[in-house]
């Protein structure tokens, strides 16, 4: 069995375990009643709308147009969905988008933007729609809540990790920022990466990695000059999609990253290259890579996580050798 097949089996096993866990607790009255009530009308205050931004305001107004389903309508739609009816599937999803928002609001301020929480919750909702069976003695909203919460919580675990820089990397960043500050004063403009690299005695790519880490770990308003009138935001180029963890690995002076990448299956190697901008490729978002491979962003995230763990294992083995 190849690795992709094992991944599919692993996902199926996890989903089966979640179904078992749900069935064992579905009769918990307090929890079930609370989750069914989550389908009630969502009221969004003006302050919340201002905080969420225009995109979220538009989304919330759009999903308010959908009508809630009765228990009988849920059973009827579930029967049609089991027969492959796409219209029924779409209606079941659209009628429960407010439930996703209600649950996502509980996870705000934990490391993911609200829109991302909603997106991850929608992934869980879709899974619930595809797996819901009439035989389950509960409303669909109660069943879906388990899948929505699982999807959001998994995304929080994967994306909201604290970045800890090794001491030598922190020292390099301080040196780099000092040189940038001196060059800004001398040249009266932002220095090019090549100019900073020449003073540091490293290549321009290394400077780019350091500056990306600065963006990820320092405030962009961090003062650059003694009079605090010049900040990092004025000097750092925007390279959003680079992953700090992989950059730290490179900055730890591992000499054979390309060789180690070549030990991975071709699809995993390409995903890492696209995700982190390796081998002179442009960094891509999870959504963009998912469309390229014809899978969901969550699947790309899973492959990314598994591949990085495999590389870490290989690095540890070679260090111990």
Name which of 302, 309, 312, 265 is nearest 10 in CA terms.
302
Name which of 121, 122, 120, 140 is nearest 131 in CA terms.
140
- Helices 114-131 and 54-63: angle between axes, nearest 10 degrees: 30
**Phi, psi (rounded to 5 degrees) for 238:** -80, 115
pTM recorded for the entire structure: 0.41
pLDDT tens-digit profile of 87-133?
A: 999 999 999 999 999 999 888 877 788 888 899 999 999 999 988 88
Question: In the predicted model, what is the mean pLDDT of the chain?
Answer: 71
User: Does the pLDDT value for residue 295 go beyond 80?
Assistant: yes
pLDDT band at 21 (very low <50, low <70, confident <90, very high): very low
User: Could you give the CA distance from residue 148 to residue 84 in angstroms, rounded to a whole number?
Assistant: 22
Name which of 158, 150, 156, 142 is nearest 124 in CA terms.
150
- Helices 244-251 and 204-217: angle between axes, nearest 10 degrees: 130
pLDDT tens-digit profile of 192-219?
A: 889 999 999 888 888 888 887 766 554 4
The alpha carbon torsion through 279, 281, 286, 292 (nearest 10 deg) reads: -110
User: Could you give the CA distance from residue 248 to residue 250 in angstroms, rounded to a whole number?
Assistant: 5
Name which of 89, 114, 91, 88 is nearest 102 in CA terms.
114
What is the per-residue pLDDT for 284?
Answer: 77
Question: How crowded is residue 28: how many other Cβ atoms within 10 Å of its Cβ?
Answer: 12
Fold of 254-320: Arc Repressor Mutant, subunit A (1.10.10)
Average pLDDT rounded to a whole number, residues 81-85: 89
Contact 278, 261 (CB under 8 A): yes
CATH of 12-159, one of 1.10.238.10, 1.10.3720.10, 3.10.290.10, 1.20.120.1810: 1.20.120.1810
């Amino acid at each position: 069995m190849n690795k992709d097949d094992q991944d599919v089996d692993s996902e199926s096993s996890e989903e089966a375990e979640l179904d078992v866990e749900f069935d064992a607790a579905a009769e918990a009255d307090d929890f079930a009643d609370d989750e069914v009530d989550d389908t009630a009308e969502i009221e969004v205050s003006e302050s919340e709308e201002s905080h969420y931004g225009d995109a979220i305001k538009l989304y919330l107004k759009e999903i308010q147009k959908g009508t809630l389903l009765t228990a009988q309508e849920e059973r009827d739609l579930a029967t049609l969905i089991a027969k492959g009816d796409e219209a029924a599937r779409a209606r079941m999803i659209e009628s429960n988008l407010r439930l996703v928002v209600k649950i996502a609001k509980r996870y705000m301020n934990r490391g993911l933007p609200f829109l991302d929480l909603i997106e991850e919750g929608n992934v869980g909702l879709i899974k619930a729609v595809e797996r819901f069976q009439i035989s389950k003695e509960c409303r669909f909203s109660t069943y879906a809540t388990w899948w929505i919460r699982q999807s959001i919580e998994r995304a929080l675990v994967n994306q909201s990790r604290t970045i800890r820089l090794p001491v030598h990397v922190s020292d390099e960043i301080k040196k780099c920022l000092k040189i940038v500050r001196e060059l800004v004063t001398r040249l009266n403009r932002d220095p090019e990466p090549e100019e900073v690299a020449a003073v540091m005695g490293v290549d321009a790519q290394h400077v780019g990695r350091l500056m990306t880490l600065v963006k990820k770990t320092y405030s962009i308003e961090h003062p650059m000059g003694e009079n605090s009138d010049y900040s990092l935001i004025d000097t750092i180029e925007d390279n959003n999609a680079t992953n700090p963890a992989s950059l730290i690995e490179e900055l730890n002076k591992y000499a054979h990253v390309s060789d180690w990448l070549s030990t991975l299956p071709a699809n995993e190697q390409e995903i890492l290259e696209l995700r982190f901008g390796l081998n002179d490729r442009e960094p891509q978002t999870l959504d963009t890579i998912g469309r390229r491979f014809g899978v969901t962003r969550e699947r790309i995230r899973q492959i990314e996580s598994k591949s990085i763990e495999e590389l870490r294992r290989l690095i540890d083995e070679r260090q111990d050798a």
